[in-house]
Amino acid sequence: MKIALVEDDINMRKSLVLALKSEGYEIKEFRNAVDALKKLDESFDLIITDITMPKMDGIEFVKKLNGKYEVIMITGNASLDMAIECIKLGVKDFLTKPFELEDLIKAIENKRIYTQKTKNKEDIKSDFICEDENTKKVFEIAKKAAVTNVPVMLLGQSGVGKEEFAKFIHKKSKRKGKFVAVNMSAIPENLIESELFGYVKGAFTDAVTDKKGLFELANGGSLFLDEIGEMSYNLQAKLLRVLQEKEFFPLGSVKPVKIDVRIISATNQDIEKNIKEGKFREDLYYRLSTIPLTIPPLRERKNDILPIANEILQKSIKEFDMPKKVFSKEAKKALLEYEWPGNIRELINVVKRAVILSENDEIKAKDLYLVNI
């Protein structure tokens, strides 16, 4: 999350910059509103501004912003009239100095969740928490790939969020059809072909009616083939033919079905090693990986950890109907220092467990049950 901090008091400004950077936020500081207005752009997600400042006060500053940004107001000279004016301008968070850092962080996280739900920009931040530079680079490529129809192969460890990337690519594409996902490792080999291509009545003993396959269901849209490395060599040849001819035969049918499907595939395996070992067809690999995207593991996306953890925390509190909770400073340190071998999937489990088992409104490091810290 990129935040603009507009504060004329140098001591307050510097202390807030240090504190918020330690929480994982990207901060740009300005000493007055006039300077801020010259340099603000669409990359900023939130403005934190004082009210009483030289050259231009905070209320006039918010008027100039014209509703383009979410705003948190801070002041040492609060009055009822000021608060009413701020509310009229759409500013719902109004903190009076001195305030606790935790109160400011709560306000920031509430703004983050609100912004993600309501912002409707062609921007990666409207779909994902994406604070780390390593993640941003991948998303920028994904954005460019999305508007084309070329196949994309997502590479990365289990739990890094490959399906979320696939959904993002489909959502940002111009395709009108459905997003259909299938985990190739979760379907018995003798059923995969009928699941992908469907069948007609009488194709086999239990085929009492026609059934559309996933390719046909995804026609006009995107088909996400997760764990593509688990596909049998025989089925790989059939998939290659479908990609080349843009048609397939349901089991038991002699009539081809024409399709227009965008393929997004994913694997946590070393696919090039599998090719060398004869486990994966090289020609299919080149068909599927016009744009290969390697998603970094969570341990290499340090600036994503706390924002994602806070998002999971808020969702879990709501899901389990629990009282509000926050991470302690030690818990945040533990989250950042842990290696996350299970990536985001493990982070989700850790935070949910902590929400359920922690005994007060502050989640301690011990509540996380992380073993290698």
Q: What is the DSSP string of 120-180?
A: --SSGGGTS---SHHHHHHHHHHHHHHTS---EEEE--TTS-HHHHHHHHHHTSS--S-EE
Instruction: Determine the number of helices (DSSP H) and then strands (DSSP E) in the chain.
Output: 15, 16
Cβ atoms of residues 17 and 128 within 8 Å: no
CATH 3.40.50.2300 for the 124-294 domain, yes or no: no
| pLDDT confidence tier of residue 240, bands split at 50, 70 and 90 | very high
Query: Is a pLDDT exceeding 70 seen at residue 106?
Result: yes
Class of domain 298-368 (CATH, top level): mainly alpha
Supply the pTM of this predicted model. Answer: 0.66
- pLDDT > 70 fraction of the chain, expressed in percent and rounded: 90
Q: Each residue of 241-250: pLDDT tens digit?
A: 999 999 999 9
Alpha carbons 351 and 51: distance in angstroms, whole number: 36
| pLDDT confidence tier of residue 189, bands split at 50, 70 and 90 | confident
Peptide bond into 250 cis (omega under 30): no
Angle at 51 between CA 49 and CA 54, to 5 degrees: 100
Most confident of 40-44, 74-78, 260-264: 260-264
Q: Each residue of 75-101: pLDDT tens digit?
A: 776 565 666 666 667 776 777 777 788
**Confidence at residue 112, expressed as pLDDT on a 0 to 100 scale:** 62
**Confidence at residue 1, expressed as pLDDT on a 0 to 100 scale:** 74
**Confidence at residue 128, expressed as pLDDT on a 0 to 100 scale:** 66
**Confidence at residue 92, expressed as pLDDT on a 0 to 100 scale:** 63
Average pLDDT for the chain: 86
| pLDDT confidence tier of residue 66, bands split at 50, 70 and 90 | confident
Cβ atoms of residues 267 and 281 within 8 Å: no
pLDDT (average), residues 170-191: 89
List every span in the chain annotated with CATH 3.40.50.2300: 2-118
Topology of the domain comprising 2-118? Rossmann fold (3.40.50)
Q: Each residue of 108-154: pLDDT tens digit?
A: 876 665 555 444 333 434 356 788 889 989 988 998 999 899 999 99
List every span in the chain annotated with CATH 3.40.50.300: 124-294
Residue 368 has what DSSP assignment? G
**Confidence at residue 204, expressed as pLDDT on a 0 to 100 scale:** 82
Handedness of CA 173, 137, 108, 30 (dihedral sign): negative
**Confidence at residue 126, expressed as pLDDT on a 0 to 100 scale:** 39
Most confident of 33-37, 136-140, 336-340: 336-340
Query: Is a pLDDT exceeding 80 seen at residue 354?
Result: yes
